[in-house]
């Protein structure tokens, strides 16, 4: 079935769209993650890093990075004829955080990508989603040569509630990213159920 078409004689199906944000620190792999699963060529708003930006763009730990997202990354996945998932990768640097409110409008949930070499870089994203009651999970992007820590150590370091999922992933690998996105949807559904369940005394 081709997106936007239906069987002969039947009206086109109007798909339900879901929106998931991909957030995290500078250089953590957000653009790579969106590109790994998008069925369309991802919309990217990357610009070259310049000498003028050195005072505000902290490249510690990602010295080889040459570009940065200045607006957003956008990708699309058609799950079935009537269900489409949109991915929005947020810019990582503080000077672009003013865009997050617009991007988060109507989001089902979010992925906070984390790099264990620079965990502090994802604190701002975690705080943002917690304050706005947007369900999220933490995807620990396993960089080549990076140390892998047990889930409980990562949870303590990030001061996460016990119900926030933590999953290991490889942002370059399509199958790995799909597991992350499935996890976000499942967590968002469970989160919604908890919020709407009657309180018993």
Please report, for the chain, the start and end positions of each structural domain, with discontinuous segments joined by +: 16-196
Q: What is the pLDDT of residue 147?
A: 84
The residues that bridge with 43 in the sheet, in sequence order, are 74
Per-residue pLDDT at 58: 54
Alpha-carbon distance of 183 to 45, in angstroms, equals: 27
Does the predicted model carry a pTM greater than 0.75?
Answer: yes
What separation in angstroms does the CA of 107 have from each of 82, 89, 101?
Answer: 18, 12, 10
In this structure, the dihedral spanned by the alpha carbons of residues 46, 88, 82 and 109, taken in order and rounded to 10 degrees, is: 160
**47: CB partners within 8 A, 6+ apart:** 67, 68, 70
Which parts of the chain have pLDDT scores under 70?
1-10, 43-71, 92-97, 198-201
Report the first-to-last Cα separation within the chain, whole angstroms.
Answer: 50
- Name the region of 133 (left: φ>0; alpha: ψ -120 to 50; beta: rest): left
49-103 per-position pLDDT tens digit? 444 444 544 555 545 545 554 457 889 999 888 889 999 998 866 666 677 888 8
CATH fit for domain 16-196, picks 2.60.40.10, 3.20.20.70, 2.60.260.20, 3.40.50.300: 3.40.50.300
pLDDT of residue 47: 52
Radius of gyration of the chain (CA): 18
């Amino acid at each position: 079935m081709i997106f936007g078409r239906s069987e002969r004689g039947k009206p086109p199906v109007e798909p339900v769209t879901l929106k998931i944000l991909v957030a995290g620190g500078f250089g953590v792999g957000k653009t790579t993650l969106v590109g790994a699963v998008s069925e369309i060529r991802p919309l990217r708003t990357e610009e070259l890093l310049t000498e003028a930006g050195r005072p505000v763009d902290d490249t510690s730990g990602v010295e080889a990075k040459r570009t940065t997202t200045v607006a957003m990354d956008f990708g699309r996945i058609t799950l079935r004829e009537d269900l489409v998932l949109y991915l929005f990768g947020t810019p990582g640097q503080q000077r672009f955080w003013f865009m997050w409110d617009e991007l988060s409008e109507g989001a089902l949930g979010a992925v906070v990508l984390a790099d264990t070499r620079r965990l502090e870089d994802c604190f701002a994203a975690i705080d943002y989603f917690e304050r706005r009651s947007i369900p999220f999970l933490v995807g620990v992007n396993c960089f080549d040569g990076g140390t892998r820590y047990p889930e409980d150590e990562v949870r303590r370091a990030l001061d996460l509630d016990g119900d926030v999922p933590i999953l290991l992933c490889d942002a370059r690998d399509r199958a790995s990213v799909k597991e992350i996105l499935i996890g976000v949807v499942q967590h968002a559904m469970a989160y919604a159920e908890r919020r709407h369940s009657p309180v018993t005394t």
